[in-house]
Amino acid sequence: MKFAIFGNVHQAKKPIIYMETLLRLLEERDAQVCICKEFYEFLTLNLHLQLSPSIDLFEGNDFTADMAISMGGDGTFLKASNRVGQKNIPILGINTGRLGFLADISPEEIEETLDEIYNNHYKVEEHSVLQLQCEDPNLMKSPYALNDIAILKRDSSSMISIHTFINGVPLTTYQADGLIISTPTGSTAYSLSVGGPIIVPNSKTIAITPVAPHSLNVRPIVICDDWEVTLEVESRSHNFLVAIDGSSETCKETTRLSISRADYTVKVIKRFNHSFFDTLRNKMMWGADIR
């Protein structure tokens, strides 16, 4: 098997022992390994890790593999999924970050997980992706989001007006600090932090959640993921921010945004003994009674 490895280049010495373990286990299984060049340089130059000369390097999305491995937290996983894009390569997330909702394999489980992969004893979840369409060339460089697309005010004072349409039919105008359009995957990220609903994976839905709305009767709404959301934004500063999986660009007020489900999915590797509800309870303390 061939593995493409991505990693977090901002963690201090945390990845060293885990990467040494991972690479040793892959070598024992005669796996082919290629590593993202930026991560390779971080490991060798910053952390002084000695890596095998048989390891190939790649830049951007110029790689092929049977499986991708993300070594880091959920942010690293999102970046890896963006690089994998439409390659149809499943991604395994090993968590060396904090929460680890997408990257839910602990470093202590690496050997067991690789054994299961080589024995073909694992499951692959297909996660929907959002696609943004607009006339802004900067936003069109990377228009896909596994988690969410957020429309946010750019300054720190006045709110923005977001005229929202579903399949061309007016929904409402949000007077708010912003609006989050999220996939089921992203429902437990930014959307959840501002009061959005938890949505189970593979539910074929999109959540629309306002950020600090200036109204007591505005609530999040969940729609079918084969519908199109169109947004027109008014702002006193005549511009606003568009954040695609956390990576933001300034956008002009006149820009019309269309958001719909992309024509591909991100394939996420899960162990059979891991469930979405276990993650909710164990990592987010969902339903916990601490009295």
- Condensed to tens digits (0 to 9), the pLDDT of residues 219-243 reads 999 999 999 999 999 998 899 999 9
Q: Which domains does the chain have, with CATH numbers?
A: 2-122+271-284 (3.40.50.10330), 130-263 (2.60.200.30)
Average pLDDT over residues 10-27: 81
Q: Is 226 a catalytic residue?
A: no
- Condensed to tens digits (0 to 9), the pLDDT of residues 101-142 reads 888 888 899 999 999 999 999 999 999 999 999 999 999 999
Q: According to the model, what pLDDT value does residue 13 have?
A: 62
Residue from 56, 62, 66, 74 carrying the catalytic annotation: 74
Long-range contact list for 234-240, CB < 8 A, 24+ apart? 234/160, 234/161, 234/163, 235/153, 235/154, 235/158, 235/160, 235/161, 236/155, 236/158, 237/154, 237/155, 237/158, 239/154, 240/151, 240/152, 240/153, 240/154, 240/160
- Condensed to tens digits (0 to 9), the pLDDT of residues 239-282 reads 999 999 989 999 998 899 999 999 999 999 998 888 888 888 87
